[in-house]
């Protein structure tokens, strides 16, 4: 069937992440835990000091905790930019599959080990830390799908920018990571931003990434605002991405030459 080749690609990517043994994933998991624990204490200290953070302690803890569990999905990061710097991205065009489909299926396959070995166990033990893990609305599910879809669109869009600006792959990755992390609301929830910034940050394109499903998850935003905005930006960014990507193919470098 048509879908089987993409499923097989995902399975191959999954095996590629674990073929050295799951023990090699422990450093990555430990790093995620070390990142998470200080943030839990920071939110507790801020709320205990009487500062109005715009969100309750329960919301802040859940927001940060779920962000850590679903980090790969909330802010999509694929292999495609690395492939361009190594001159291997053109291999994607030699296979009887959609380039977009190859990148998406491989990335999803690479998500699975972390989701199974880190996210699932951490979700199970969340109540032990006083974390509310149950979402406030089921609208978080379509929101998460739209978030991931838009994340892939931005990946290809930034890839096109990288093709235009040669020899700055690492710089572009750093700039992209900084911009997306802040404007997506994953690092700092929009609800705690001052000067009413939360009212307009949600409507900018990056606001439909991680911060959108997380806000629905903790009940700090309304689905009637989040979902239509995500659909709008998916249509706009994917249209721009597809057009620019196919126009940029001639600029790709094969075998570093």
Query: DSSP secondary structure string, 107-170?
Result: HHHHHHHHIIIIIHHHHHHGGGGT---S-S-TTHHHHHHHHHHHHHHHHHHHHHHHHHSTT-HH
What pLDDT is attached to residue 66?
92
Reported as a single tens digit per residue, the pLDDT across 51-89 is 666 788 888 889 999 999 998 999 998 887 666 655 566
pLDDT range class, residue 152, cuts 50, 70, 90:
very high
Q: How far apart are CA 212 and CA 223, in angstroms?
A: 9
Residue 255 pLDDT: 45
Residue holding tokens 């990142």? 35
For residues 103-110, average pLDDT: 90
Every domain of the chain and the residues it spans: 4-251
Report pLDDT digits (tens) over 212-225: 999 999 988 899 99
Q: How many other CB atoms sit within 10 Å of the CB of residue 238?
A: 18
Q: How confident is the model at residue 143 (pLDDT cuts 50, 70, 90)?
A: very high
pLDDT band at 5 (very low <50, low <70, confident <90, very high): confident
Residue 147 in this model has a pLDDT that exceeds 90: yes
Predicted confidence (pLDDT) at residue 257 exceeds the cutoff of 80? no
- Read off the pLDDT of each residue in 85-94 and give the average, rounded to a whole number: 66
3-state helix, strand, coil in the chain (%, to 5): 75, 0, 25
Closest to 113 measured CA to CA, from 212, 233, 10, 241: 10
* Mean pLDDT for the stretch of residues 17-27: 75
Q: What is the pLDDT of residue 11?
A: 84
pLDDT in tens, 114-123: 898 889 999 9
């Amino acid at each position: 069937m048509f879908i089987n080749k993409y499923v097989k690609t995902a399975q191959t990517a999954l095996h590629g992440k674990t073929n050295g043994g799951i023990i090699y994933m422990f450093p990555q998991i430990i790093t995620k835990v070390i990142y998470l624990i200080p943030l839990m204490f920071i939110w507790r200290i801020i709320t205990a000091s009487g500062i109005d953070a715009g969100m309750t302690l329960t919301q802040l803890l859940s927001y940060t905790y779920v962000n850590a569990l679903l980090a790969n999905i909330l802010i999509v990061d694929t292999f495609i930019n690395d492939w361009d710097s190594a001159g291997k991205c053109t291999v994607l065009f030699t296979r009887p599959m959609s380039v977009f489909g190859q990148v998406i299926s491989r990335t999803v396959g690479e998500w699975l080990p972390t989701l199974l070995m880190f996210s699932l166990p951490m979700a199970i033990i969340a109540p032990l830390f006083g974390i509310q893990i149950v979402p406030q609305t089921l609208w978080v599910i379509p929101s998460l799908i739209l978030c991931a879809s838009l994340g892939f669109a931005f990946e290809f869009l930034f890839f096109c920018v990288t093709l235009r600006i040669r020899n700055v792959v690492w710089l572009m990755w750093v700039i992209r990571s900084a911009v997306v992390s802040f404007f997506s609301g994953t690092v700092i929830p929009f609800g705690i931003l001052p000067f009413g910034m939360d009212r307009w940050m949600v409507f900018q394109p990056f606001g439909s990434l991680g911060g959108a499903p997380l806000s629905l998850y903790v009940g700090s935003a309304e689905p009637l605002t989040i979902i239509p905005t995500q659909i709008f930006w998916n249509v706009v960014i994917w249209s721009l991405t597809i057009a620019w990507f196919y126009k940029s193919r001639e600029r790709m470098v094969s075998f570093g030459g």
